[in-house]
Amino acid sequence: EPFEFLPAAPLRISFAEGIKLLRDAGVGPDAQGDFDDLSTENEKKLGDIVKAKFHTDFFIMDKYPLSIRPFYTMPDPDTFPSKPPAEQLSNSFDMFMRGQEIVSGAQRIHDHKLLMERVAYCHSSAGHGGPDPESIKAYTDAFKFGAFPHGGGGVGLERVVMLYLGLSNIRKTSCFPRDPSRLAP
């Protein structure tokens, strides 16, 4: 099936808008919480909904809940710290092709004090399992001397090729695919 892309600009929706689209399609709170990360199944459903409603195979979803992102993800200033932790959002995004995530990224925390607050919170029993602060001391100490605002993201290039070409398996996009039974070419 040919890949559809909006000609003017890619579709951008917030995480909350994505949840609303799923709710409108009958996905209840028991199958997808308002502040829970999307399952693979719900990502694919959302991709089908976006394709049917907006006629595109590519979209960007941003403003993910802070509670499901790594400790170094910059909180959204509109919700942090004014809302309860479970309702705080982040300056992060995912890009999707044909209902599957191909890029995950975010603005990163560049302020040492805020970074240490997030590390401590995520590592605490109230958080979502961040690393022990001592185990990443070399990383966090670098921010004591100042850092520019910055961001980053990771691209699954083989997944992009697979989805763009409509291939059935990611191994078809790699010269030397790896799996549990094959580690060497």
pLDDT digits (tens, 9 = 90+) for 140-151: 999 999 999 999
> 127 and 118 in contact (C-beta within 8 Å)?
no
Provide the pLDDT confidence category of residue 176 given band limits of 50, 70 and 90: confident
DSSP-derived secondary structure for 111-128 = -HHHHHHHHHHHHSTTSS
Question: For position 74, what pLDDT does the model report?
Answer: 98
Sign of the alpha-carbon torsion through 75, 79, 83, 88: negative
> 121 and 67 in contact (C-beta within 8 Å)?
no
Structure tokens at 114: 């805020």
Question: For position 178, what pLDDT does the model report?
Answer: 80
Provide the pLDDT confidence category of residue 183 given band limits of 50, 70 and 90: confident
Average pLDDT over residues 55-60: 98
Query: How many residues does the structure list for the chain?
Result: 185
What radius of gyration, in Å, describes the C-alpha atoms of the chain? 19
Structure tokens at 4: 């559809």
> 105 and 92 in contact (C-beta within 8 Å)?
yes
Q: 18 pLDDT exceeds 80?
A: yes
Question: For position 158, what pLDDT does the model report?
Answer: 93
pLDDT digits (tens, 9 = 90+) for 102-136: 999 999 999 999 999 999 999 999 988 889 999 99
pLDDT digits (tens, 9 = 90+) for 77-100: 999 999 999 999 999 999 999 999
Q: 185 pLDDT exceeds 90?
A: no
How much is the pTM?
Answer: 0.90
